[in-house]
Amino acid sequence: MKRFNNKKKITKERLENYNFKEVALTKMAKRQLFVTLLSIIGVTVISLGSAYAVFTSVSRSAEYNVIKVGTLNIDFGADSSNTINLTGQYPMSDEEGLKLTPYTFTITNTGSLAADYEVFIQDDQDMISKDNCSSNQLNKDYIRYKLDTGSPANLSSIAGSNYRIATGSLEAGGSVTYTLYVWIREGVGNDVLNKHYHGKIVVEGENVQREENAPELDSGMIPVTYNGSSWEKADATSNNWYNYSEGMWANAVTVSSTTRSTYQSAEVGTEISMDDIETMWVWIPRYSYTIGSEDGTNYYGKQGEFLDTTPTQELPGEIDIRFVDTNTKDRGTAKYIVSNGIEDSSWYTPDAFTFGDTELSGIWVGKFETSSSNPSASNGGDNTTSLDAMIKPNVTSWRNINVSNAFAVAQKMNDNGNRYGLTTNADTHMMKNSEWAVVAYLSQSAYGKLGNSNFSGANKEIYQNKSNSFITGCSYGTPSNGNTDYGCQYTYDVNVSGTGASTTGNIYGIYDMSGGAWEYVMANYNDTIASSGFTSMPESKYYNKYTTSDVNTACNGSACLSQGLSEITGWYNDYRTMIRDANPWMVRGGSNSDNTSAGVFHFGTTNYMGGAYNGHSFRLVMSIVS
């Protein structure tokens, strides 16, 4: 499947060229799996006064023990004792019917996409024709069944010749086992004499790409798409301005107050000048994740379809992602053994999608490192709160600002009368470490740069920004650490060489997460303020607190899942140093002192650049709350 060609929507025609398990439409092509499980034959009623004996058997053919079609595997079990045998039995009560030996079967999703399915009992017309018994079919009202925890019911209570008895969903690697009881109901009469019933269980499944949560736009935001040379207004009422399966993450902008009403009333497709844009944002939809191990020891992600080699620390593999709604908050292990498949207990919903008491459907992340309303100032903005934050490419990032001032600059963006047109529902804040991590994890998934077919091998890693002038959105055109040519070789909009520095490998991703300035994140060691500029720590929802300097025990004695620490330590050989009492504030992504090491999984402490806040920048995040 070709990915990341900047098409806005997967069309029906393109679907025909795709591999079944890879196709990602809103509703995917249906695959029908026909399996003969149930054959009730030779029903004979012999009059014995007021009693009846019904000789019936429900059997299965060995050739149907395991059927694989598409990505669903149906296993009926190899033990013949699974056969339901009613031979010699008579019409019976529900209580008696549920004492019979049940028939069990398991459905497993062996593919890489989720699958929705339906289970039917269906007339087997082939067998009916073969036995020439269409006129002697047993009335479905006489067939009684019970599936798992459901109540006993007559087959005739389900309309049509397809009798749907179950529905469900299976994530990639998931499985479900059903237990089925079948008997002839109590109270039937002589009209069943010499009647036959031929049936089969049919499982209809369709592979689906779970839809990501639609971006939540505040009133000052305008959705945009890229036309190849500039950004243009998108239709907020449709979903064709983003497609995460194609690596097209949703983008939105805010514009100057003097042009806002003009753009908001403009037609879809209107070009939005970069001169008018003040901030650019990328939507990270709520998801759950799990990290695979190919060898059962090292959790470097799975090889999957995007990597040609076994994952290693130097070249890690895919992080499995599934999009979820705000009602889902998985709290599993966040890891699994690839050969064993993903279990329900493998999934974990990142902490970044819980903001105080609010479960978020996603977060908006600044597309570039923050710059200021006076980018020509020393260090792009100086250590002050008098300037306003901007998020744009091709400008100098705002550095040498301490944590407290960076936090205050972010907080004031939704103040009454702000220049961006944002309401108080848009909680703008300085990026937390957990929020950095959800971007990094998504980039290392099928929806990020790892899944982009324009890159292979070592180039799956996000390219570095090596601009020694700290120009936002720059790309060196390679992730290599072994060069000394510092500058802005490619701007953010140069296809492949420039866009390779984004989290998607195309222009719709997030930039400056490898190289550029070190970025402060709101992550602190044990509420140690140090020289941050704070007089007291902010509200707890605005920062991550770590209680030890060991990444394996930093979250109250446990590993910090979903926060880009112990789970991904050293991926791509990225530098890592945990915060501690003497250096209590975390920085991410930037280059070390000789500008030769950087990465999206990079993290360090504030003393690395030789001062409490010397040379550091920051990034903005927006949570839509109501």
Confidence band for 82, pLDDT divided at 50, 70 and 90: very low
On whether the CB atoms of residues 557 and 430 are closer than 8 A, the answer is no
Confidence band for 52, pLDDT divided at 50, 70 and 90: very low
Residue 23 has pLDDT above 70, yes or no: no
Calculate what percentage of the chain has a pLDDT beyond 70. 78
Q: Give the angle 153-42-84 at the CA atoms, nearest 5°.
A: 55
Pick from 396, 403, 461, 412: nearest CA to 432? 403
Distance, in Å, from the CA atom of 243 to the CA atom of 528, rounded to the nearest integer, reads 42
Q: What is the pLDDT of residue 7?
A: 36
**Are 148 and 216 within one domain?**
no
On whether the CB atoms of residues 139 and 156 are closer than 8 A, the answer is yes
SS3 of 442, please?
Answer: helix
Distance, in Å, from the CA atom of 514 to the CA atom of 502, rounded to the nearest integer, reads 9
Pick from 271, 578, 299, 619: nearest CA to 428? 619
Sorted by sequence, the CB contacts under 8 Å of residue 402 that are 6+ apart come out as: 383, 531, 532, 533, 612, 613
In a domain, 403, yes or no: yes
Confidence band for 107, pLDDT divided at 50, 70 and 90: confident
**Are 195 and 221 within one domain?**
no
Distance, in Å, from the CA atom of 458 to the CA atom of 476, rounded to the nearest integer, reads 14
On whether the CB atoms of residues 357 and 243 are closer than 8 A, the answer is no
SS3 of 190, please?
Answer: helix
In a domain, 367, yes or no: yes
**Are 281 and 405 within one domain?**
yes
Q: Which of 208, 237, 255 is the last residue of a domain?
A: 208
Q: For the chain, how big is the Rg over CA atoms in Å? A: 30
**Are 156 and 251 within one domain?**
no
Residue 282 has pLDDT above 70, yes or no: yes
Map tokens 């709290």 to a residue.
Answer: 331
In a domain, 242, yes or no: yes
Q: What is the pLDDT of residue 483?
A: 66
In a domain, 483, yes or no: no
Amino acid at 603: F
SS3 of 108, please?
Answer: strand
**Are 256 and 389 within one domain?**
yes
In a domain, 434, yes or no: yes
Q: What is the pLDDT of residue 144?
A: 86
Q: Tell me how long the chain is.
A: 626
Sorted by sequence, the CB contacts under 8 Å of residue 211 that are 6+ apart come out as: 26, 323
- Domain containing residue 117: CATH number: 2.60.40
Domain count, the chain: 2
Calculate what percentage of the chain has a pLDDT beyond 90. 56
Helix/strand/coil (H/E/C) assignment for every residue in 500-528:
HHCCCCCCCCCCCCCECCCEEEEEEECCC
Phi–psi pair at 253, nearest 5 degrees: -135, 160
Amino acid at 286: R
Q: Is the model more confident about 488 or about 139?
A: 488
In a domain, 481, yes or no: no
**Are 258 and 407 within one domain?**
yes
For 233-277, what is each residue's pLDDT tens digit?
999 998 899 999 999 999 999 999 999 999 999 999 999 999 999
Q: Which of 191, 208, 225 is the last residue of a domain?
A: 208
On whether the CB atoms of residues 369 and 394 are closer than 8 A, the answer is no
C-alpha distances out from residue 405 to 280, 295, 299, Å: 21, 46, 38
Tell how strand 426-430 and strand 287-293 pair up: unpaired
Q: What is the DSSP string of 5-60?
A: S--SS--HHHHTTS-GGG---SSPPEEEEEE----EEEEEEEEETTEEEEEEEE--
Indicate the DSSP class of residue 420: T
Map tokens 């039917």 to a residue.
Answer: 120
Residue 88 has pLDDT above 80, yes or no: no
Chain centre to alpha carbon of residue 267: 32
In this structure, what token pair is assigned to residue 64?
Answer: 């149907």
**Are 148 and 290 within one domain?**
no
**Are 147 and 243 within one domain?**
no
Label residues 157-170 b or e (16+ Cβ within 10 Å = b): ebeeeebebbeeeb
**Are 122 and 269 within one domain?**
no
Distance, in Å, from the CA atom of 162 to the CA atom of 85, rounded to the nearest integer, reads 23
Pure H helices in 68-212: 94-97, 125-130
**Are 92 and 235 within one domain?**
no
Amino acid at 28: M
Q: What is the pLDDT of residue 486?
A: 79
Most confident residue range from 24-28, 179-183, 386-390? 386-390
**Are 233 and 153 within one domain?**
no
Sorted by sequence, the CB contacts under 8 Å of residue 185 that are 6+ apart come out as: 91, 92, 97, 141, 142, 143, 144, 154
The mean of the pLDDT values for the chain is 82
In this structure, of 69-73, 199-203, 511-515, the range with the lowest mean pLDDT score is: 69-73
Residue 557 has pLDDT above 50, yes or no: yes
Map tokens 């030769």 to a residue.
Answer: 596
Q: Is the model more confident about 619 or about 341?
A: 619
Tell how strand 143-147 and strand 175-184 pair up: antiparallel
In a domain, 573, yes or no: yes
In a domain, 513, yes or no: no
Q: Which domain holds residue 624?
A: 212-439+520-626
On whether the CB atoms of residues 241 and 250 are closer than 8 A, the answer is yes
Distance, in Å, from the CA atom of 110 to the CA atom of 591, rounded to the nearest integer, reads 41
**Are 85 and 112 within one domain?**
yes
Residue 160 has pLDDT above 60, yes or no: no
- Indicate the Cα dihedral angle 76, 81, 84, 90, nearest 10°: 180
Phi–psi pair at 425, nearest 5 degrees: -70, -20
Q: Which of 147, 174, 208 is the last residue of a domain?
A: 208
